[in-house]
Amino acid sequence: MKTTYLFLSLLLSTSLLAQDGVDYKEPLNYSKTGEVTFRAILHYPGKSKAELRELAKEWFARKFDGEFIQFDSRSEKQNQLYGRGYFGYSFFAVMNTYFSEANYNLSIAFKEGKIKVQMEQLFILGETAVITSENEVLLPKPAHKVISDEKLYKRNGKARILPRKHKEQVLGYWYELLDTVDGFFHNYQKEVEEDW
C-alpha cells in the first residue's frame, strides 16, 4: 500500500512540474551564423505602425522594468525596438536540482497591422552535462552549443537529459513571452489621468 501511495505521489509531482505544450523535439531556427533564434509574426489588423510602436515601447517599459532598454534613433528609423533581457530557471534531473540563467536580445519590429518578435543572441549559464569536474567554471555558452539538435541528441538518437531540460525551459519561456506580448497588444487600454 505504501508503494502505491509513493508511486502516485511521484506521478503527481512529476505531472505538476511538466510544462504544457512544450516539446523538446520541436525544431529550432538558426541565423546565418548558426545561432539559435526565435521569431514570430503577430497580426493586429486595424492598428497603425505608430500605434504598434507606442504599444511596443509601453510593453518594453513594463517587461524590462529596472533593466536597460535601448531606444535609439537608428531603431526608430528601422521601425524596430531592442532590449536585453534574462530569465532564471531551475529543473530537476538525475536526482539533482539545477539552477540556470539565459540571457538574450529581444527586438520588436512593426509594420502596418503586424509585428515581428525576435529573440536572439541567446546565452545559457548553467551546468550542461551530468558529469562535470568539481572545479569547472561555468561560463555562458551560446544556445546553439547547448540545445541544438547536434548537442541535444546522442549517437543512439536519445536526448541528453540536461540539454533537453534547458531546451524545454527556453521554449517555455519563449511561448510565455509571446503570450504576454500578444495579450498586451490586444488588451492594452491607455490609462486616462483624471483632470485635477
pLDDT band at 10 (very low <50, low <70, confident <90, very high): very low
**Overall average pLDDT of the 32-41 stretch:** 94
pLDDT digits (tens, 9 = 90+) for 131-188: 665 656 677 899 989 998 888 888 898 998 889 999 999 999 999 999 999 999 998 8
Amino acid 38: pLDDT: 95
In a domain, residue 161? The reply is: yes
Structural domain containing residue 143: 23-187
- How far apart are alpha carbons 144 and 125 in whole angstroms? 13
* Total number of domains in the chain: 1
pLDDT band at 25 (very low <50, low <70, confident <90, very high): confident
**pTM for this entry:** 0.79
In a domain, residue 157? The reply is: yes
In a domain, residue 5? The reply is: no
Mean pLDDT across the chain: 80
Q: Show the cell assigned to 71.
A: 531606444
**Overall average pLDDT of the 92-120 stretch:** 92
- How far apart are alpha carbons 153 and 148 in whole angstroms? 9
In a domain, residue 38? The reply is: yes
pLDDT digits (tens, 9 = 90+) for 40-52: 999 999 999 999 9
10 touches 18 (CB < 8 A): no
Amino acid 191: pLDDT: 59
pLDDT band at 2 (very low <50, low <70, confident <90, very high): very low
In a domain, residue 2? The reply is: no
In a domain, residue 137? The reply is: yes
Amino acid 106: pLDDT: 92
Which residue do the cell numbers 546565418 mark?
Answer: 32
CATH code, domain carrying 90: 3.30.530.80
Q: Tell me which of 2 and 48 has the higher pLDDT.
A: 48
Residue 57 confidence (pLDDT) above 60: yes
pLDDT digits (tens, 9 = 90+) for 76-92: 567 888 888 889 999 99
Q: DSSP assignment of the chain, as one string?
A: -HHHHHHHHHHHHHHHHSPTT--TTSPPEE-TTS-EEEEEEEE-TT--HHHHHHHHHHHHHHHTTTS-EE--HHHHHTTEEEEEEEEEEEEEETTEEEEEEEEEEEEEEEETTEEEEEEEEEEEES--SSS--TT-----EEGGGTTSHHHHB-TTSPBPHHHHHHHHHHHHHHHHHHHHHHHHHHH--PPPPP--
Amino acid 41: pLDDT: 96
In a domain, residue 169? The reply is: yes
Q: Which amino acid does the sequence have at 187? A: N
pLDDT band at 124 (very low <50, low <70, confident <90, very high): very high
In a domain, residue 27? The reply is: yes
Which residue do the cell numbers 558529469 mark?
Answer: 131
163-to-38, 151, 156 alpha-carbon distances in Å: 17, 7, 16
